[in-house]
Amino acid sequence: EEIASHQGMRILTPILLDLVVIAAFAVILWSATGIGPDYFDGSSYCPALGRARKWLLRFDATLFVHQKATLSIYCDWEDSYWRFFGDTWVRAILTRTDSWLLLLSQTCRALIFEEFLQVLLPPLIALAYSLVAAACDIVESSMFQLLHKDREHAKLG
């Protein structure tokens, strides 16, 4: 077996994690819904599950109808998580119209939902990152082999 005497030059993979974080941050900023006027009316605020509902409805309307009650429960949990931060900032700090008892009652659900996110998200993020990293590695290796082959062909010619 022939041993390669050359090492590939990495361009994207050393900064890939930085690029992925910047891209994810940009997507989150552009797709954020913010606090709307219906926030104080008590309507549920679940941006992540709202997107998942729209995707599920487009994918399979029957499955959406069967899972609607379950999704509503998860929406309430996500709503509690985001309302904990929103109520702490908007009602408790800015307007001073919220009671500490209400904030403490939301804390339990917010902590449970955050624990759920900490269990669910890292494997999904790791999978997505590994797929992007593998694709970048394949592209970089192919580019290097193509350039190296052209250089050797130019030396011979």
25 or 153, greater pLDDT:
25
pLDDT at 119: 92
State whether the Cα torsion 96-100-106-110 is positive or negative.
positive
The radius of gyration of the chain's CA atoms, rounded to the nearest angstrom, is: 24
How many CB atoms are located within 10 Å of the residue 109 CB?
17
pLDDT at 127: 93
Mean pLDDT, the chain, whole residue set: 80
Residue of 59, 41, 106 whose CA lies nearest to 78: 106
What is the tally of helices (H) and strands (E) in the chain? 4, 0
Contacts of 45 (CB under 8 A, 6+ apart): 35, 39, 78, 79, 82, 83, 86
What does the pLDDT look like over 112-143, one tens digit per residue? 888 988 998 899 989 988 998 888 888 888 88
Residue 157 confidence (pLDDT) above 60:
no
Query: What is the CA angle 55-56-60, rounded to 5?
Result: 125
Residue 46 confidence (pLDDT) above 60:
yes
Most confident of 43-57, 91-105, 118-132: 118-132
